[in-house]
Amino acid sequence: MADKSEAENGDIDESLSLQLSEIEILQSMFTEGKELNIDLAGLAEIQDYLSGSINIKPNRIAFTLNLFLSYNFNSQEYLEVNCCLPQRYPHEMPDVYVKSSSLTREIQKELNESTGEFVTTLERGELCVVTIIQWLRETWPDFYERSIQLTNSKEVEVAKTGKKEAKCEGNLSRIWLYMHHIYSKTKRKHILDWANESKLTGFSLPGKPGVVCIEGDSRDAEEYFSRLRRLNWKKITCRHKEERIGRRKFDDFKELVFHVHSSGDDRMDFGEFFQFLVKHDLGEMFKILFGIEGN
């Protein structure tokens, strides 16, 4: 009789094999690189684990699907579907988050809530990502139409009152994220693209360890952090959050590189990074991030 660990390993092996089969289905349905972006490092980990090349169980695999959806056969809109598959999926439900610039913040929140509710109705043990995609295709027109109506009603209200809602600078916040490492090209692309989408400023510092600093509207910053956490990380934590910062320290969001030139690996040059922080009047953050004084 197999012991508990052997049985658990068998269950995980079966789950991971099913995940690979569903990834293959998605690859046959969507153009990779344009519509489908997979965490290739996570995919390789699963393949290596199942082949016996590595013994460490892989973590969650993440991918992003860009759905191009039509409305009334006239316009083509864009819906970004971010999906993370837990280690035991399909025996555990996938984590799905959708985003579209065509939807208002309120309607996008409702769509995510409805998506979460729909996922809870699905049968555990059955592959369901394709089913979720089909549900989003069918549901999209209703949410898109409601978003248009909400936008129009706000514009009418502005026309009546002659007042336009302004973003309060007092709602700006700055969040400091610390990762065990940032290597994946897919993750690095998401970090940059999602920050620019949400009009966040700051920087990302790939390598080991990895650091991301974002500043902007507090709700946008929190949403950005929530999206990043859904990706497959060995470790990701919020080291510090500054509320109502008044003004931004950065003009845009970019990726930085401060590597030790003679090391031959991706270790960070802490001295250069500390000087960068000092230049932006953020030198005190070095100790908060790494627990040591900068020099």
pLDDT digits (tens, 9 = 90+) for 231-268: 878 889 999 999 989 899 999 999 998 866 555 555 66
> Is the alpha carbon torsion for 184, 274, 282, 284 positive or negative?
positive
Tens of pLDDT along 127-170? 999 999 999 999 998 999 999 888 887 655 555 555 544 444 45
As a three-state string, the secondary structure of 100-124 is CCCCCHHHHHHHHHHHHHHHHCCCC
Domain spans of the chain? 9-147, 172-290
Of 2-16, 73-87, 188-202, 264-278, the range with the lowest mean pLDDT is 2-16
φ and ψ at 130, to 5 degrees?
A: -60, -40
Write out the two tokens for 31. Answer: 């153009």
How far is 220 from 229, CA to CA, in rounded Å? 14
Class of domain 172-290: alpha beta
- The CATH superfamily label for domain 9-147 reads Ubiquitin Conjugating Enzyme (3.10.110.10)
Question: Mean of the per-residue pLDDT values for the chain?
Answer: 86
